[in-house]
Amino acid sequence: MTGFPDTRVLGRDVPRKEDPALIRGRGRFVDDIHLPGMLHAAFVRSPHAHAAITAIDTAAARAMPGVRAVFTLKDLAPHLTDTRLVVAMPSPAYRLELHRPVLAHSEVVHVGEAVAMVVADDPYRAEDAAAAVDVQYDPLPAIADCVAALRPGAPTAHAGAASNLVAEMVVEYGAVEAAFAGAALRIQKRLLVHRGGSHSMECRGLVAVPDPIEDRLTVWNSTQMPHACKRMLCDLLDLRETQVRVVTPDVGGGFGPKLVIYPEEVAVPLAARLCNRPVKWIEDRREHFVSTTQERDQAWDVELATDADGRILGVRGVLVHDHGAWTARGLNVPQGAVAAMPLAYLVPAFRMTIKVAATNKVPVTPIRGAGQPQGVFAMERLLDEAAAALGLTRDEIRRRNLVPAERMPYATPMRTRGGIAVTLDSGDYPLCQRMALDAADWTGFPARRGGGGAVRRGIGLSNYVECTGRGPFEHVSVRVEPSGRIVVATGAAAMGQSTATMLAQVVAEQLGADLGRVDVVTGDTAAAPIGLGGSNSRQAVLAGSSAHAAAVRVKAKVLEVAGELLEVSAQDLEIVDGMVRVLGVPGGGVSLGEVARAAAGQAGFVLPGTSGPALAASEEVVIDAMTYANGSCVAEVEVDTGTGAVRVVHLVFAHDCGRALHPRIVEGQLMGGIAHGIGNALYEFMAFDENAQPLTTTLAEYLLVTATEMPKVTILHHESPTPLNPLGIKGVGEAGVIPIGAAIASAVEDALRDYGVRIDRLPLSPVDVLALLDQSTVLPST
């Protein structure tokens, strides 16, 4: 890594600001918050995938010891401006409006949907009483599979709906028909990709605290979106902005679903107001499986056209996407999937039709990667197939099609979902592929392949380009207090990705390089007036840029005021630790605190400097265009043909996320994503039966990767600073996950090449692998 050559803390592996509390068990996660008189909520959830609610009897539950209240939608409705959560991101493509209710009242449309809420003295008793709420259901036919959902005559996920087609969109550019008509090679594939849940180790949860004296409400919420949550509460509870504060405490992982606003996030604060007591709700893991959003099935029917040399002429097809039962966020997962498909390559013509299908399952919203792993899988599977058909190696066909470095910045014909032109800003994609191939000793692989025993070895490759840093802005304020401490507040929300450390680095770089002096407040609506929160690998890019701009302004002010105090020119001053001093002259000078005091002003005296009072600045640097990170992955695997087990032996990950603010944090983000990607490729499967009953609702059934499944991983860095922001950084929070499934699929197919099988689905369980071998008509040479 080249990093930041002339910096003091940027680009360095400084100790994290988050660690001292967390390592001693002194973090403050939402369930760590205790308040006197606090009550506990538990939810009654639907056991049916689809049913009409005919009656709800809460009398027995209300009579149980310790129970303070039981609420149904009927009880809450008089206190709500709307009984639905209207959270869908805008799109003209919707055919069905699926805004979910705060509590279900006439119909339930997935197992786990909240029907009633119990509030009791302790969580054990709340759970006892929830089981005693008597809900009468009239079961209705349920639809589980997204492809079946779009067939004529399929049961509808919502009673009375015209169909299950939530939305249909076409993403298109270039002359697609002509490209296919004139193509030397056409490849067609049907692919099935499943991704599961996010499974942050901390589930969701919130504590809502009413303040009857000032008629205010404070909500500690394990969310990625505190400002959006506040907005929703103001809207639905009819409160003014000054009455509501949402604070994100330490968050035990987010990975996507915590950017959604959920029914519980409205019901619990309302219960707190109605009971006039603090109310806590902590989601348990079983609820997480049936109520926290997931990313699940996509069926891709895709075609690739190339010329005789393997140069891509066009891509077309249809994507059917499982949307779940409600629109909990929008259409961004299938949009992201389709957008990711062609990005790394020169694709002159492209048309993908997206069909979004409602099913009687948990709503779908982005999980780390947000559709991009699926899009990359589709593209890379097509390329492998084309290479085989043309007699090219898999690396060669990619080399012929990757966007070359000399074309950067490359304006693709695509637009983002917000209508912004997609321009690949920087990078050397072929170089990343070469780095990965070299480190994996791709050319030396034939010698490692070995003979034809029970265990077969294979190697695979994939490339990705990821859109990161979704704008338009993030708010950051920087202030030097008279104590000499520097306070940074932002609308960005932290969920374990070191946001506080990163912002402290950016600010400290300008203001003395002493990280210990910087306090960072994230995710508190009282500390930052606006904010977009954490998603789309955006925090470093957007909040980092604003922090940089604000710190640069504060620095100028510090030097100006200090210059006046010291009677030297501002240009001759520097800030070192807590002191402002004459360049290169240790000792002497004036402390940051003294400068702040002077800048604070005194009644009746003229302010020092020319730029107003206080050493403070706030910024919302607007960056509409997204910055595109890229990388290449090589996976080497062993497939045991006796058990169907796939073992990843070595993963090489060569990537480019622009400049790294903190190399070790970048590696940590990637490694977490890689583990998640291995899970998506081989282990994680959120199973439902044909009636949409979930089958994997414990962590013993839904398999997360543990330390024993992790292979040797080699990470290589290339840095192409982006011109789009002053720090030259791109997002990295999701990159790790994106190319893993595609690379592993390629490697497994290669390992089983004697059998002639094709890997057209993920995840790939040992059962799937043996089934493929059984279906193979090719007799392996043993």
178 is a contact residue toward another protein (CB under 8 A)? no
x/- contact string, 466-485, with another protein (CB under 8 A)? --------------------
The nearer residue to another protein, 241 or 284, going by C-beta atoms, is 284
642 is a contact residue toward another protein (CB under 8 A)? yes
Who contacts 415 (Cβ-Cβ below 8 Å, separation ≥6)? Answer: 421, 422
Who contacts 453 (Cβ-Cβ below 8 Å, separation ≥6)? Answer: 782
The nearer residue to another protein, 243 or 714, going by C-beta atoms, is 714
- Residue 140 token pair: 């209705």
Would you call 198 exposed, middle or buried from its count of C-beta atoms within 10 A (0-12, 13-18, 19+)?
A: buried
496 is a contact residue toward ligand FES (CB under 6 A)? yes
- In the list 472, 668, 723, 726, the residue contacting another protein (rule: CB under 8 A) is 668
Question: Per CB under 8 A, which of residues 237..266 are in contact with another protein?
Answer: 250-253, 255
780 is a contact residue toward another protein (CB under 8 A)? no
When CB distances are held under 5 to 8 angstroms depending on the partner's kind, the choice from ligand FES, another protein, none that residue 700 binds is another protein
* Residue number of the CB atom closest to ligand FES: 201
Minimum CB separation from ligand FES for residue 285, in Å? Answer: 8
Total number of residues that touch another protein (CB under 8 A)? 83
Pairing of strands 114-120, 134-139: unpaired
When CB distances are held under 5 to 8 angstroms depending on the partner's kind, the choice from another protein, ligand FES, none that residue 674 binds is another protein
When CB distances are held under 5 to 8 angstroms depending on the partner's kind, the choice from ligand FES, another protein, none that residue 582 binds is none
Q: Which stretch binds another protein (CB under 8 A): 404-412, 560-568, 597-605, 708-716?
A: 708-716
- Residue 777 token pair: 């008509």
Of 520, 536, 461, nearest to 747 by C-alpha is 461
Question: Per CB under 8 A, which of residues 744..773 are in contact with another protein?
Answer: 765-767, 770-771
Of 96, 128, 98, 133, nearest to 114 by C-alpha is 133
Minimum CB separation from another protein for residue 38, in Å? Answer: 10
| Residue 749: strand, helix, or coil | helix
x/- contact string, 145-184, with ligand FES (CB under 6 A)? ----------------------------------------
x/- contact string, 456-495, with ligand FES (CB under 6 A)? ----------------------------------------
Who contacts 213 (Cβ-Cβ below 8 Å, separation ≥6)? Answer: none
* 369: amino acid identity, one letter: G
Question: Per CB under 6 A, which of residues 706..745 are in contact with ligand FES?
Answer: none
- In the list 3, 66, 253, 601, the residue contacting ligand FES (rule: CB under 6 A) is 253
The nearer residue to another protein, 607 or 699, going by C-beta atoms, is 699
Question: In whole angstroms, what is the distance from residue 656 CA to residue 650 CA?
Answer: 20
What φ, ψ does residue 37 adopt, rounded to 5°? 75, 10
What is the enclosing helix (H) or strand (E) of 751? helix 740-751
Who contacts 394 (Cβ-Cβ below 8 Å, separation ≥6)? Answer: 383, 384, 387, 460, 461, 746
- Residue 533 token pair: 């929160």
Helix 499-510 vs helix 544-566: crossing angle, to nearest 10 = 30
| Residue 493: strand, helix, or coil | coil
When CB distances are held under 5 to 8 angstroms depending on the partner's kind, the choice from ligand FES, another protein, none that residue 644 binds is another protein
- In the list 81, 698, 777, 782, the residue contacting another protein (rule: CB under 8 A) is 698
**DSSP-assigned beta bridge partners for residue 656:** 630
Q: Which stretch binds another protein (CB under 8 A): 20-28, 178-186, 266-274, 415-423?
A: 20-28
35 is a contact residue toward another protein (CB under 8 A)? no
Determine if the peptide bond prior to 472 is cis (ω within 30°): yes
What φ, ψ does residue 242 adopt, rounded to 5°? -70, -10
Question: In whole angstroms, what is the distance from residue 552 CA to residue 12 CA?
Answer: 19
Q: Are 174 and 349 in contact (CB under 8 A)?
A: yes
21 is a contact residue toward ligand FES (CB under 6 A)? no
x/- contact string, 186-205, with ligand FES (CB under 6 A)? ---------------x----
Which residues form the interface with ligand FES (CB under 6 A)? 201, 253, 496
